Structure 1
């Protein structure tokens, strides 16, 4: 693979193109300053303005959310796995019908595997602009977002209507639902009973891993973060490992599945049969199956990254039973 071909498979942090109208809460006060990024795969954006950096999906999607302080992402649910790790900032994740069932605060490098079937939201509670990186299960990311009823109602009050076709229409910009397209129906009270309300004590132990705990787990081998025999035991359609300076894989290796590399801290050197390049925090690399490659830190100091690999497991529910 030539350097040019590999560069087309790398999305640099500085080249990320944000969408500020990606979801139904784009006009809602408190959520109207967030930026959404679709890095690999189409994700779950509801806006035609969303730029997709790499369209080919490896069995999962990669995205990101950037938000200034006190900005939140409204309560929603997914049918497949949604995993976040904090690239920068300090974030509060909360869940439940009204966002009051439980919460957890994550710092840089921490990772959360949010259970499917529950309403969840998140906000930047730090003092600076923050970024979280996301892995969504499935090639089609589960077919979209399920919004809590109050989110749809609040959005309508601020001019945004979500059609049952999954597309947004801005009434303040003169848009209206096309003929034959109805508004996305609001979940009924009976339907809402199907969405669990787990307490923090039920979610955190089996779904949250702290950065410094993973640094300790990553001895001479990468730490297994998400997988059937990992710290967070699950089969969401992909596996996640954590790599540090002391747990670098063998000099040159290849795998039969898709592999995505996402540096958290430090600077890395990626080499393959055909070239070499530098990787920095926030970069995302889609390594194709079968390509022999190697990783080494590019300079002294702390260095860490998450590695995501596709599996044969269906992108099914993320369990709440640990």
Structure 2
């Protein structure tokens, strides 16, 4: 594969195209400055304005959220896996029907495999613009998002209505629900009662892993972070490995499904049969199935990356499902 072919499968951090109207809380004060990015796959955006950088099916989706300080993403639920790692900044994740069942704060490099069937939200609690990278299960990312009822009601007061077709309509732009489309129904109290409210101890202990802990154990071989035998034992439809300078190798390997390389620290040189490229933190590279490749740090200093590959498992559920 030529370097030009592979360059088309690399999304550079500086080339990311944000969508500022991706979800129903786009006008709600406190959430109206967030930027959403769909990097690989169709994503879960409710807006036709969302730009998809690479539309090749991988068995999972890659996305990102960028937010200034004190900006939050409202409480929502997914039917499939949602995994975040912090690229820049400091982030508070919270969960539960009202967002008060538990919370945790993640620093750069930390990873959170959020269980399915759980209301979750997050906010930038750092002092500068922050970015979190996301892996979503399945090619269709679970068919959309389920919002906590209060999020839909708040959004209506600020001009946004979500149709039962999963699309947003903005009264500030003169839009209204088309004929035959009704407002998305709110979850009933009976439906809400089936959604767990796990404690912080349950979630943090089972589904959060800290960057420096992973660095310490990735001193010889890459660490399987999420997988059937991973640090987080789960089968969300993909596996996530963590690789550092100490565990990287220039020995080429391949996969029978497309894989993705996502540096979090340092610069990485990726070699394949036909060329090479250098990745920086925030870049995302899709490697075709069957292509022999390797990745090693290209400069001195701290270096770590996440590697994602589909497993063919159904995309969820986790133990809270």
Identify whether the pair has TM-score above 0.5, normalized to the shorter chain. Answer: yes
Deviation of residue 319 (structure 1)? Answer: 2.1
Q: Secondary structure at the match of 2:256?
A: coil
**TM alignment of 1:29-108, pairs within 5 A:** 29-108=29-108
Q: Secondary structure at the match of 1:252?
A: strand
Matched residues in 1 for 2:165 and 2:249: separation? 45
- Counterpart of 1:151 in structure 2 is 151
Q: Cα deviation per residue 1:208-236 (whole Å; 9 max; x = unaligned)?
A: 00000000111211011000101000000
Matched residues in 1 for 2:25 and 2:127: separation? 22
Q: Cα deviation per residue 1:154-210 (whole Å; 9 max; x = unaligned)?
A: 000000000000000001211000000000001111110011100101111110000
TM-score by length of 1: 0.98
Q: Secondary structure at the match of 2:252?
A: coil
Q: Secondary structure at the match of 1:36?
A: strand
Q: Secondary structure at the match of 1:247?
A: coil
Moved over 4 A (4+): none
- Counterpart of 1:292 in structure 2 is 292
Deviation of residue 84 (structure 1)? Answer: 0.1
Matched residues in 2 for 1:27 and 1:64: separation? 19
Contact 2:42 2:55 in 1 (8 A): yes
Contact 1:12 1:284 in 2 (8 A): yes
Deviation of residue 250 (structure 1)? Answer: 4.8
Contact 1:244 1:305 in 2 (8 A): yes
- Counterpart of 2:194 in structure 1 is 194
1:134 matched to 2:134: yes
Contact 1:222 1:249 in 2 (8 A): no
Matched residues in 2 for 1:261 and 1:273: separation? 17
Matched residues in 2 for 1:76 and 1:228: separation? 26
Contact 2:39 2:54 in 1 (8 A): yes
**TM alignment of 1:182-221, pairs within 5 A:** 182-221=182-221
Contact 1:42 1:52 in 2 (8 A): yes
- Counterpart of 1:256 in structure 2 is 256
Matched residues in 1 for 2:250 and 2:298: separation? 16
Q: Secondary structure at the match of 2:151?
A: helix
Q: Cα deviation per residue 1:19-41 (whole Å; 9 max; x = unaligned)?
A: 00000000000000000000000
Matched residues in 2 for 1:252 and 1:228: separation? 24
- Counterpart of 2:117 in structure 1 is 117
Q: Cα deviation per residue 1:290-316 (whole Å; 9 max; x = unaligned)?
A: 101111111110000000011021102
Residues matched between the structures, number: 321
Matched residues in 2 for 1:226 and 1:258: separation? 17
Contact 1:94 1:100 in 2 (8 A): yes
Matched residues in 1 for 2:192 and 2:266: separation? 44
Contact 2:117 2:320 in 1 (8 A): no
Contact 2:196 2:320 in 1 (8 A): no
Matched residues in 1 for 2:282 and 2:52: separation? 16
Deviation of residue 258 (structure 1)? Answer: 1.7
Matched residues in 1 for 2:213 and 2:84: separation? 16
Kindly report the root-mean-square deviation, in angstroms, between the aligned alpha carbons of the 2 structures: 0.9
Structure 1: gaps (5+ residues): none
Structure 2: gaps (5+ residues): none
